């Protein structure tokens, strides 16, 4: 990674930290520069406007989520509901490796509704995630795989929201929730 790319990533991670701590309204070049330990001019060089910085942070967040999905995709497909649950729990655990990710994600999702470009970016990413999960559910016997994927992703989102107010929730709590829905989606009672 070049020095310029490393600086850009450092700025974007710092922007996510600021967003997670104090919301989108707290984003300024000066605040992000202070968090990143770089000059205000360096942030302005990489992101000319506040909107460009927010768009960059949102894009970085989605790319990080896509990297996690790609890491998981390289494995064998789950052979049953229990293996799928294991996989989903692992995905959420990987997403939680940085404590600022979930709060920043939801702050940016709310911000995205005011930006047609960001709304489309998020909708495209969400549709891709639903389609990929739907394919797995279909191989496991789900009669309505896309709807099943939306239900599972909805449960993952509900768990993430619970994590915002109760960060101590662990993987076992998510597993219990998924065990209530994934087997029945796959036709296992």
129-179: pLDDT as tens digits: 899 899 999 999 999 999 999 999 999 999 999 988 888 888 899 999 999
Token output for 148: 């099943």
Task: Give the CATH superfamily of 57-185.
Answer: Tetracycline Repressor, domain 2 (1.10.357.10)
Query: Which is more confidently placed, 188 or 62?
Result: 62
Residue 181 confidence (pLDDT): 94
Q: How far apart are CA 26 and CA 73, in angstroms?
A: 36
Contacts of 94 (CB under 8 A, 6+ apart): 68, 71, 72
Q: How far apart are CA 59 and CA 158, in angstroms?
A: 22
Q: For the purposes of burial, counting CB atoms within 10 Å of the CB of 137, is it exposed (0-12), middle (13-18) or buried (19 or more)?
A: buried
Angle between helices 101-112 and 116-139 (to 10 degrees): 120
Mean of per-residue pLDDT scores for the chain: 89
Q: How far apart are CA 69 and CA 144, in angstroms?
A: 22
Pinpoint the alpha helices (H) of 27-141.
29-36, 40-46, 50-73, 81-95, 101-112, 116-139
Residue 73 confidence (pLDDT): 67
Token output for 106: 């939801």
Rounded mean pLDDT, 51-73: 84
Give the domain ranges of the chain: 57-185
Q: Which candidate, 185, 176, 188, places its Cα nearest to that of 89? A: 176
Is the pLDDT confidence value at 114 over 70?
yes
Q: How far apart are CA 130 and CA 90, in angstroms?
A: 17
Contacts of 49 (CB under 8 A, 6+ apart): none
């Amino acid at each position: 990674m070049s020095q310029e790319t490393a600086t850009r990533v450092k700025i974007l991670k710092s922007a996510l930290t600021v967003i997670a701590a104090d919301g989108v309204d707290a984003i300024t070049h000066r605040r992000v520069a202070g968090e990143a330990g770089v000059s205000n001019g360096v942030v302005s060089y990489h992101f000319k406007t506040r909107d460009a910085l927010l768009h960059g942070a949102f894009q970085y967040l989605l790319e990080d989520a896509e990297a996690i999905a790609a890491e998981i995709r390289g494995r064998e497909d789950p052979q049953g509901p229990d293996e799928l649950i294991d996989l989903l729990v692992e995905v959420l655990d990987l997403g939680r490796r940085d404590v600022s990710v979930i709060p920043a994600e939801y702050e940016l999702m709310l911000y995205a509704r005011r930006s047609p470009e960001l709304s489309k970016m998020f909708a495209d990413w969400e549709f891709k995630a639903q389609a990929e999960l739907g394919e797995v559910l279909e191989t496991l016997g789900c009669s309505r795989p896309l709807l099943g994927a939306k239900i599972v992703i909805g449960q993952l989102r509900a768990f993430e929201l619970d994590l915002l107010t109760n960060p101590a929730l662990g993987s076992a709590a998510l597993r219990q929730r998924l065990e209530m829905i994934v087997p029945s989606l796959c036709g296992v009672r």
